[in-house]
Chains A and B, each alone.
Chain A
Amino acid sequence: MRSKLHRGDNLFSAVFVSPAFVFYTVFVIYAIGLSFFYTMTKWKGVGTPVFVWFRNYVNLVKDAEYWQVAGNSFTLVLLALFIQNPVALVLAYLTSRIKFAFKPIRSVIFLPCVISAATTGLMFQLLFNADIGIFNGILKAIGLGFFQHVWLSDSKTVLFAVALPQVWQYLGIQFIIFLAAIQSIPQEIIESARIDGATGGNLILRIIVPLLWEVIAICIILTVTGSLKAFDMSWIMTWGGPGLNSAYISVLMYRHAFKGFNFSYGTTIAMTILLWSVLFIVVFRGIFRKRGVAY
């Protein structure tokens, strides 16, 4: 039989949790539900949406433009996964070992995260501009003049030119998470590993990575879901062009919904970001559920 004190505790907890719960329900759950409803309609933002069941999804599967931008988004995911996370982990490990100037170094690495995406995008647009930008000039100055290129207009390079600032800017987030996790590993474990002869790469791969597996998994999920949502750099630097060569899923969504008045189709495109994210999380957690070790 529950005591009065217990019921009082539950009520007290509910009161404190309820604002966040209400906020989450209204702005996340309800919003997703409403978005899903709009994906089942034909709606141009005016009048009553006309129910069309799954026609938008069928059209999406047949839409070559969608698969082009999905491919671009998946490319960004791979770049972020295989550059951002490993570099952030290595930087975090190296920074954790620094005693002198630890705080300034940590701040400098994290600094790009606090710059607005618009500013970063504009900065890199100017940097990569083949007519007036300094990137080509820097390449020439260091003897790599043969690499000079029209980075933002060539359909073969524009996606990478647009992805690079994204990977660079948000590397700091993974870095700070990894740094905190590495610093929480008991020093005795690291010291014992060193005594046993583990150095550098071995230490990272065989000691730190297994110990931090849960944190790494979270960072991987954040990287993938963040990359799937990416919009800023593509839009600011090139508007997703030329054509759709540097457009992500969210850019195509924006073009359909906010330029083309096609809200239902744009919402359908946006919904696929959620679907790809959920699919990845389910598969990833299924495969890599029990890979970490505890200390």
Chain B
Amino acid sequence: MRKSFRGFMILVLLLAASGLVFAAGPNIRFSNFWTDATDTGKLFASGFKAFADKNKDLANYTMEIAQFDDQRAKIKVDLAANNLPDVFIYWDYGSYSTMADAGLLLEVHDYLKATKNLKWGDMPQGAWDSNTPDGKNYYGIPMKGFVDYFVANRDIFKKYNLKYPQTLDDLYAVGKVLSKNGIIPLAIGSKGGNAGHFLHAEILQQYVDMNWMKGLTTGKVKFDSPEMLKASQLCLDMAKAGLFPKDTVGSGDFAPPASLMNQEQAAMINAQTWMINMFKNDIAKKFDYMAIPKMPGAKRDPSTFRIAVANNSWLINKTSFNDPKKQKAMIALLDWANSDQVIGYIAQGGDWIVKSMKLDPTKLLPFYTQVQTWEQAKPKEAATMVYSVLPDPVVQEAYVSALDELWAQSITAEAFVKKVQAALDKFFNG
């Protein structure tokens, strides 16, 4: 019995050792946030498997997935465990500044020099700008972005004989009629800042330009400023006038407002392109594109700009890339991840891409094509989110948390700007 047990253990050890020998290539970990519950995730899963099988001589490629915002927590846990993936999707520079400052991320020119498959000019400069603190060093390859679009349900407006609001006064007038008939005028709540912070930023940028916004990152511009106070007060006044859902937290985030539009319980929405696949096709056909109403005393015409940000990028683990054993495999992976085929997956799933490339319209969602048409009809200046220009994740958290209170009418506009300014002061002054 003992001899046979010893023989069995020797056999097990030999098998394990041979497994290690055969799996001798480097391990390359690739992390993204599309689960196979999404169309993009299904395309990614099959595409990645094909890539990994084709390149198994280079490395053992594995894919790790944490759904959307869970990706932030996953990467932070990996970071704390000193176990950052080799290539992973993340958000804009403000979100990953800690990793960049610690020297964990590759400056992207090092990859661009090593590859023939991607050039700087493949993405617009505005997309690259989300990934730099100084305009010289860039730490992410932008691949997914979004644009803000403001739409109204044409049938609802027709039913109540209303015209699309051009000004704030028009909006209040339209809102009164809609509310009286049980229709929510604007399907915009705020839960964790979503999606109220987009409207907040759109309204703010009727009073300020991109240079002012960038000043928030460096502290050159104070959050507690007359312009920010004015924009915040306007949002609060809209909430008080019943323009938003009653339950701004319960009906916050993205899916609940989309549901309100789908059920035709709301008339207008300030949506983002990742919501394209949340709208039913027959409802999206009823959408008319419009500019956000002009606010009193606005210095910029809202029809001339809209928020367009490259908010997701591939980040590259610097240590892994500079490891001679891994570099070739990492370049192959990055070439694949930035290829037209894979970026096409993102578009086919309904997400907005930033790479200049041709898309097959037959593979896109009808509403995606519609939003593209709106975008291309009239060139607009790119604006950004307040969230993106805040310099630190703790400040970003303070902003979205306070915004929930503003939308829920729990605090005044003055208290809101002071709360966020206090977080900024703590960040800048230690």
Contacts and interface: CB of A to CB of B under 8 A. Distances in A.
Contact of A238 (B77, B98, B249): B249
B84 to A, nearest CB: 9
A131 B265 contact: yes
Contacts of B265: 131-132
Interface string B388-421: 0000111011000110110110110000000000
Central interface residue in B102, B192, B246, B250, by most chain A CB within 10 Å: B250
Interface in B91-118: 98-99, 102, 104
A96 interface: no
Contact of B250 (A44, A45, A128, A256): A128
A211 interface: no
Contact of B184 (A131, A238, A261): A131
Interface string B247-260: 11111000010011
Contacts of B72: 258-259
Contact of B405 (A46, A239, A242, A258): A242
B191 interface: yes
B404 A133 contact: no
A229 interface: no
A200 interface: no
B192 A152 contact: no
A225 interface: no
A178 interface: no
A245 B410 contact: yes
A150 B245 CA distance: 10
Nearest to A259: B397
Contacts of B411: 243
Contacts of B221: none
Contacts of A239: 191-192, 404
Contact of B401 (A129, A131, A132, A241): A241
A44 B98 contact: yes
A10 B411 CA distance: 65
Contacts of B191: 238-239, 241
Given A242-B410, A255-B397, A131 B260 contact: yes
A152 B250 contact: yes
Contacts of A130: 245-247, 250
Interface in B164-217: 184, 190-192
Interface stretch (A23-31, A70-78, A153-161): A153-161
4 residue pairs, one from A and one from B, having the closest CB atoms? A130-B247, A46-B102, A129-B250, A241-B404
11 contacts: A45-B98, A46-B102, A128-B247, A131-B247, A131-B250, A131-B251, A152-B250, A241-B408, A242-B190, A260-B394, A262-B394
Interface of B: 72-73, 76-77, 79-80, 98-99, 102, 104, 184, 190-192, 245-251, 256, 259-260, 263, 265, 392-394, 396-397, 401-402, 404-405, 407-408, 410-411
